Amino acid sequence: MADYLVDEMSPYHLQMSMFVTTIREQGDEAQRNHWLPQIEAWKIIGAYAQTEQGHGSNVRGLELQARWDPKKKEFELHSPTLTASKWWNGALGRTATHAIVVAQLLLPQIQTPSIDAADDAEPRYVSHGPHPFVVRIRDQDTHQPLPGIVVGDIGPKYGYTSMDNGYMLFNHFRVPHAAMLARYSRVDPETSAFQRTGSSAVVYGSLTNVRANIIMHARLVLARAVTIAVRYCSIRRQFKDRDALDTESIPETVVLDYPTVMIRVLPLLATTFALHYTGEAMYELYRRSRESIEGGDFGSLAELHSTSSGLKSLCTMYAADGIEICRRAMGGHGFGGGSGLVQINADYLSKPTVEGDNWMITQQVSNYLIKKMTAAVEEPHMESKDALSDHFRRYLKQRTTARPQEVITSNGTIDDTALVEAFKWRAATLSYQAYQQRIVQKQRWNTLLISLHKLSRAYSESILVTNFHSALQNSPLSEPTRSTMRDLFHLYALHTIDSDARTFQTTGALSAVVLDAIPDRVLDIMTQKVRPHAVKLVDSWAIPDYLLDSALGRYDGKVYEELFQKAHRENPLNRVTFNVDWRSSEIVKGDKDSEARILAKL
Amino acid sequence: MAPTPQWVKELKPSGPQGHELLKQERAKSKLPVEQLSQFLFTRGGLERKHGILAILEKEKVFYKSQNYFAGRVDRFETALARAKRLRQLTVQHGWSVEDFRAATELISEPGPYGLHESMFLITLRDQGTPQQREKFYKPALNYEIIGCYAQTELGHGSNVRGLETTATWNAEDQTFTIHSPHLTASKWWIGSLGRTANHAVVMAQLVIAGRSHGPHPFVVQIRDLKTHEPLENIHIGDIGPKFGYNTMDNGFLLFNNVKIPHFNMLARFSSVDPQTNRYMRPSSPSLVYGTLTWVRSTIVMQAGGVLARGVTIATRYCAVRRQFQDRDAPEWEKGENQVLNYTMVQIRLLTLLAATYALHFTGKGMMQLYETNQNKMSQDVGQVGSAQRGAGPEETHSGSDLLADLHATSCGLKSLASTIAAEGLETCRRACGGHGYSSFSGIGPWFADYLPTTTWEGDNYMLSQQVARYLLKSARSVMKGEKPTNDTTQILSNFLAKSDIGAAFDVLGRDEDIVAAFAWRTAFLTFEALKHRDEQKKAWNDLLVDFYRLSRAHSQYLVVKNFYETLQSPSLTAELDPETVTVMYKLFRLHSLHTLENEASEFYTSSAVTVRQIQLARTSAVMRLLEELRPHAVRLVDAWDFPDWQLDSSLGRYDGKVYEDMFYRASEQNPLNAITVDPYPDSPVLFKKNDSAQFKSKL
C-alpha cells in the first residue's frame, strides 16, 4: 500500500514482484529454501531479465545461451550477438545484485555411439527452449559487475524515469547446476538428459500473474485519471450558454455540462467499474488455476493464458487511451505538470507494449477461440466442459434461426440480459467467421491478423459486460446506489456498442433500428442519470490527494491556488535569472562561464 | 565507469543485419525517391535544408547527444544558448525567414525566443499603428527588446472574452492601469514569458469610465533591461514542467495596478481618444482574426510532416525488427518475419503513411486558400464585418463567402489534422513495440512536444462548433434556393437535388466516386443537424457531439478532395513518372477507403454506400492495397527526406543500424552508468561512487 501511495516505480519493485514470484513458483524446494529467506531479509536485490534487445514478444526467439558442460557440471551463459543483450529489465541497470536470467537451454545431443566419431569431438548441442536461471551479477561489497558480465542502464524513456531498466551481456560466464530453477524441468547432472515434470507453458505462469495484476492496476489508473477530470471539469467554467435568454447575468457553463466533454469522460467513468468487476473475476480465475496447477493439473492454463492475454490487451488500451482522453478533456491545463496526469500518462504508456504487445498477444485469444469453435463444430453433441464451449454449441444450434436481441424493449426500458447476450452473440459469430476463414477456407494467418485482433477485442468486451452484469445480480449495494451502478453498466455497454455498431449489425446481434436509437440513449443516460452523481462516483474510488498529486483533481477543489503554489514556490527554474541578450555569451546572469559550462556537457 | 570491454565492442546484432534489410527493402521498389521528394518540397526547398544542416551540424552547441538525458534546468539553459547562437548565425549568414524556419525544424525543439519570433512580432506588426511599429516593432526585430504574447489566463483559455486582467483608462493622466483582480486573472502558459521576455503584449479588458469594451492588446515592459529582474508590482515566473515543451519557459504574470502610457495600447484597429475619452473602432477586426487563421493554416501545413517523422521511424524500424516465424511459411523459409510484414502492423503504419501524403497535399491547398483570401482582403479592407462575435450561434459575419469558408476550413482542418498527427505518432510509437518506449526511439519526446497543438490555437473539440455553424448557415442559404457560390454550397445543393432519388457511388471502382461519397455524407449530416436545430429546436449544447462528428466528416471530405485534386493536377503527371503516379493513387485509395471503413456507420446511414461495399472495402480492397504498397513502404518514407540529425532516433536511422546505435547511446552516452549505488535498504548510502560530472565533461 505504501508503495502504491508513493506512486513512483521503485528500483526495488522487481524484488517484490517478478523476482520473488518466479523463485517461489518455479524453484524446487531446495532452491526456495535457499533463496527466499535471503530475499525476505533483503540480503540480495533481484531483477528479472527476460526480454532482449532483439526479442520481446517472441520468448522462444531469445538468443542468450545457457550451455551445459557435462564435465564440469556447470552452465555457461553466453551472449553470441549484440541483440542477445538483455534489455529493458527493471532494476537491472544500477540496482540488482542478482537476476533471474532467461536463456536458451543447450544440452549435448545424446548420441548412440558411432565408430566414426572421435571420442573427444565437440558434442552437438540442441536447444530445449528458454529456461530461468538465478545468477549473481554484481559483487556483494563493491557492487561492481562480476567479471564476464557487462551491465548498465539503458537510458531515458518516455516515463518510468525512477526505474533503472537495464541491459546485460555475458561472456562465457559460468553458473552452477543449482542456478537453473528446477521445479518443472531440470537437467540430470549425471546423464545430461532433459527432464520435464510439467507443462512447458508453466514458464508463462508468472507472466500470467503479472497480467492479472496489470488488469487490476488498469482500473485504478483509469479511476485516477477520471477522478481528476471529473473534479476539474466540474470546477472549470468556460463560455456562457448560447441558448440562455439573459447572457449578462448567468455565470459561464461548467465544462462537464458540455456533451462533448461528457461523451469523453463519463463512459470512462463507467469503464472503471467495468474493469473493477472483471479484475475481481480474473483474480478468482487465476487463484483457481494456480490451485489446479499446484495439484498437477495443467488443463486450465490455456484458458487462463488466453483470457488474460485478451483482457490485458483491452484493459491497458482502455487505461492508456483513457488517461490521454481525460488529459485532453481538461484543455490547456491538462498539459501542465499540475494536472497530475503527465507522469502517470508517461509511466503508464509502457503498458500497451510491455508483458506481451497488445496487438501481438490478441493472436493467442483468437487461436484459443478458433480451437474451441472447431471442437464445437466437430462434436456438436458432446457435453461441454466449460461455459465457453457450452455457449459455442448453443450458438451453432441457433446460428441460422436466431433474431437480433431486443435490448431496448417496446416500453423503452433496457433488457440487461439481452444486452449481455448481444455481446456474447457477436463474439461467437466472429469466432465462427474466424473458424470458417482459417480452418475451412485455410486462409493465411497473416492476412487474418486484423480481424483476429477485432475478434479478441469483441470477446474481451463480452467478458467485461458479463462480469459487470453478474456483479450487479449479486450486489450487496443498497437500492439507490445499485440503480446508479446499473446506469453505469448501461452506459458502458451501450457506448461500447455505439463505438463498433457495425459488427453488432453484421453479426446479427442487434438490428439497425436498435443501433440507431443508441446514441440518443447514451446522451440521455449521461445527462439524466450519471452526470448528477459524477463527483460522488469518483469520490467513491477514495483516491487520496497525496496519490493524485494533482492541482486539478484536488478533493477540495482548490485548483487555481494549488496550480499557482506549484508554479511559483516549487519550481527551481524560477531561481535562475538569465541573460537574454543574443549577443552575449553569458547565459545565466552573473555566471561568466555559463556558456563554456553548457558546451562541456554536450 | 569502466571502459567497454573489447568482446562487447566486437559483438554484432544477429543476422540479417539492419543495414542489409533496409538495402533489400530499397531494392524491392523502383520508386524514384529524389523525384518524389522534389515533388513534395521543390528542389529549392531541399537544397535550402541541406545547406543549413551542414552549418548546424558543425556547431557544438547544437549537438543533440545529451538532449534525452538532461533535466529541465539544464535543458532550458542549453536551449537559451542555442537560441542565441541561432540568432547569431541568422545575422552572420543573412538567413531569410524560410531559412530560419528550416533551421528551427532541423533543431526540432521549442526555444526561449519562440514567442518573441512569432506572436510578439506578428502582433506588433499587424496591430500597431505606424508610430507604434517604429517604437516597438523595430527594436523587437533587432532583439533589442524581447517579447511574448500574454493572452490566456489561469481561468480562461478558449473563451477570450472571459479574460479577467483589466486595463482601466485614467482620463486624468491619460494612462492605463493594468491590474489582476483575481488569482485566476494570472496570465498562464505564456511562452517565453517565464524567464526570457522583458516585454509582453498583454490582452486585457479595456475599461473606460466603468464600462468594459472587451479584450485589447497592450504593450507592457515587464523586466528591467539591465538586471532582467521583474519591474515593481509585477510578479512573473515559469509555470513548471509539462508533458513536453520543457525547453520553453511558459510563464505566469500578475499585475498590481501597473500604469502604462496611452501610447502602449496597440491602436491600429481600435483605440481610446485621449481628448474625448471615447472608445473608437476605425477599422474591420476581421484582420485580427487573420493572424489566428494563419496560425491554424500553418498547423494544417505542418501536420503531414509531423506525422511523417513518426511514420519514417516506425516503418524503418519495423523493416529491421524481426519477431516470430510466419506460421504459414514453408519449411525451407527459415528465420523470423520482419514485423512490417504483419498485416496488423501494416494496417496501422501504411494507413498512416497514406495519411502523411493526404495531409501534406491538404496543407498546401489550405495555404493557397489563405493566400487567395489575403489578396482579396487587402483589396477591400474596411468594408467587412461587424465586431460582435459569438452573440448567438447562428449569427455570422456578413463578410465575403471566401472569408467564412476560409475560417471554417481552417478550424475544421486544424482540428482533424492535428488529431490525426498526434494520435498517429502514438500509434507509431506503439507499433515499435517495447523499444518505442525508449527516448532513443525519437518518437516519444517528439510526440510530447507536439501534443499541445491539439488544445492550443482553438481546442480541437471547441473549434468544431465554428465549422458546424458555417455549414448550417450554408445549408439554410441552399434551402432558400440561393445559388451555390463555393464548393460547400455546391455539394449541399447537389445533395438536396438528389435526396429523393438517392445516390449510388462506386467507391471501389471509381476514384471520383470516393470523393462524391464523402461529400454526400457531409451534406447528409449537415441537413440532419439543421433538422435538429431548426425544426426540432434542440438546444445548441445538446447538439455538440453531432457537431463534432459533422466537422470531422466535412474535414475528412476536404482531405480526400485535396488529395484527389492533387492527383488530377497537371503538375503531378509532369513531375512524376507513371509508376509513381500509380503508387500515389493507391495511397489515395488506402487513405480514403480506410477512413470510410472507420466511419462506416455514417456512410451507410447516409446511404452513400451499402453495407456490402463497406465489407468489401475492408476485407478485400484495403487488404489488397496494403499488400501492393508494402514493397514501396521504405522508399515512400525516404521521400520525406528527414536527415538522421533531425530524427535523432536509434530506431529510425537511414542505414538501419538500430541495435548498434541503441547500445552505443545506452552504454557510452548515459551518465547514469557513471554512478555506482549501494543497493541495500538498510544502508544510508545512496551512491557509492558518482562519476557522472566527469562523465559529462569527458564527452
| CA–CA dist A550, A544 (Å, integer) | 10
Name the least confident of A203-212, A234-243, B310-319: A203-212
Task: Compute the half-sphere exposure of residue A76: CA atoms within 13 Å on the CB side of its CA.
Answer: 14
B488-513 confidence digits (pLDDT tens)? 999 999 999 998 887 889 999 999 99
Name the least confident of A413-422, B4-13, B208-217, B324-333: B324-333
pLDDT at B448 over 50: yes
What's the Cα-to-Cα distance from B386 to each of B270, B285, B411, rounded to whole Å? 13, 8, 20
Residue of A nearest to B419 (CA): A328
Q: Are A339 and A550 in contact (CB under 8 A)?
A: yes
Q: What residue ranges do the domains of chain A occupy?
A: 1-110+123-197, 207-536, 574-601
What's the Cα-to-Cα distance from A602 to each of A597, B60, B62, rounded to whole Å? 9, 7, 8
Closest to A213 (Cα-Cα) out of A398, A57, A16: A16
ipTM: 0.81
Closest to B300 (Cα-Cα) out of B460, B160, B516: B460
Q: Are B699 and B692 in contact (CB under 8 A)?
A: no
Q: Are A430 and A506 in contact (CB under 8 A)?
A: no
DSSP tally for chain B: helices H, then strands E: 26, 13
- Answer whether 0.90 is exceeded by the pTM: no
Q: What pLDDT, on a 0 to 100 scale, did the predictor assign at position A540?
A: 94
Helix (H, G, I), strand (E, B) or coil at A149: strand
Within 476-515 of A, beta carbons closer than 8 Å to B belong to 501-502, 505-506, 515
Q: Are A106 and A68 in contact (CB under 8 A)?
A: yes
Residues of chain B in contact with residue A164, where contact means CB-CB under 8 angstroms, are 672
Residues forming beta bridges with residue A49, ordered by sequence position: A101
Supply B507's cell numbers: 467507391
First to last CA, chain B: 13
Q: What CATH superfamily classification does A207-536 receive?
A: Butyryl-CoA Dehydrogenase, subunit A, domain 3 (1.20.140.10)
Instruction: For residue B409, say whether it is annotated as part of any ligand binding site.
Output: no
Instruction: Work out the pLDDT band at B288, boundaries 50, 70, 90.
Output: low
> In 10 A of CB A204, how many CB atoms?
19
pLDDT at B445 over 80: yes
A397 touches chain B (CB under 8 A): no
Tell me the domains of chain B and their CATH numbers.
31-111 (1.10.540.10), 118-282 (2.40.110.10), 292-380+398-638 (1.20.140.10), 673-699 (no CATH)
Say which of B436, B460, B676 has its CB closest to residue A144.
Answer: B676
Q: What pLDDT, on a 0 to 100 scale, did the predictor assign at position B384?
A: 40
What's the Cα-to-Cα distance from B58 to each of A567, B62, B643, rounded to whole Å? 37, 8, 15
Distance from CA of B576 to the nearest CA of A (A): 32
Within 411-440 of B, beta carbons closer than 8 Å to A belong to 426, 429-430, 433-434, 436-440
What's the Cα-to-Cα distance from A550 to each of A151, A533, A537, A556, B432, rounded to whole Å? 36, 22, 18, 12, 31
Residues forming beta bridges with residue A138, ordered by sequence position: A145
Backbone dihedral angles phi then psi of residue A196, each to the nearest 5 degrees: -120, 135
Backbone dihedral angles phi then psi of residue B11, each to the nearest 5 degrees: -70, 140
Instruction: Work out the pLDDT band at A157, boundaries 50, 70, 90.
Output: confident
> In 10 A of CB B667, how many CB atoms?
21
H-helix segments, A330-444: 342-348, 362-378, 387-398, 416-435
Mean pLDDT of B601-608: 90
Supply A365's cell numbers: 485469444
A596 touches chain B (CB under 8 A): no
Q: What pLDDT, on a 0 to 100 scale, did the predictor assign at position B386?
A: 39
Catalytic annotation, residues of A: 355
Residues of chain B in contact with residue A257, where contact means CB-CB under 8 angstroms, are 541
Would residue B269 be called left, alpha or beta, if left means φ above 0 and alpha means ψ between -120 and 50 degrees? alpha
Pick A1-110+123-197's CATH classification: 3.30.2010.10, 2.40.110.10, 1.25.40.10, 3.90.340.10.
2.40.110.10
Residue of B nearest to A346 (CA): B243
| CA–CA dist A230, B7 (Å, integer) | 56
pLDDT at B99 over 60: yes
Q: Which of B337, B461, B599, B605 to mutate to test the interface with A (most CBs of A within 10 A)?
A: B461
Residues of chain B in contact with residue A505, where contact means CB-CB under 8 angstroms, are 611
Mean pLDDT of B536-559: 94
Please, what sign has the CA dihedral across residues B525, B528, B530, B536? negative
A463-520 confidence digits (pLDDT tens)? 999 999 999 998 888 888 999 999 999 999 999 999 999 899 999 999 988 998 999 9
Q: Which of A83, A360, A455 to mutate to test the interface with B (most CBs of B within 10 A)?
A: A83
Contacts for B330 with CB less than 8 Å, ≥ 6 apart: none
Mean pLDDT of A418-438: 96
Do A1-110+123-197 and A207-536 agree at the fold level?
no
Q: Are B239 and B194 in contact (CB under 8 A)?
A: yes
Q: What pLDDT, on a 0 to 100 scale, did the predictor assign at position B205?
A: 96
Pairing of strands A125-136, A98-108: antiparallel
B378-434 confidence digits (pLDDT tens)? 665 444 443 333 333 333 343 456 778 888 999 999 999 999 999 999 999 999 988
Q: Select which of B117, B164, B457, B602 is catalytic.
A: B457
Q: Are A81 and B663 in contact (CB under 8 A)?
A: no
Residues of chain A in contact with residue B195, where contact means CB-CB under 8 angstroms, are 573-574, 576-578, 580
A396 touches chain B (CB under 8 A): no
Residue B36, judged by CB atoms within 10 A of its CB (0-12, 13-18, 19+), counts as buried
Q: What pLDDT, on a 0 to 100 scale, did the predictor assign at position A252?
A: 86
Would residue A121 be called left, alpha or beta, if left means φ above 0 and alpha means ψ between -120 and 50 degrees? beta
DSSP tally for chain A: helices H, then strands E: 19, 11
Q: What percent of chain A has pLDDT over 70?
A: 95
What torsion, rounded to 10 degrees, do the Cα atoms B589, B590, B595, B601 define? Answer: 80
Name the least confident of A279-283, A329-333, B395-399, B504-508: B395-399
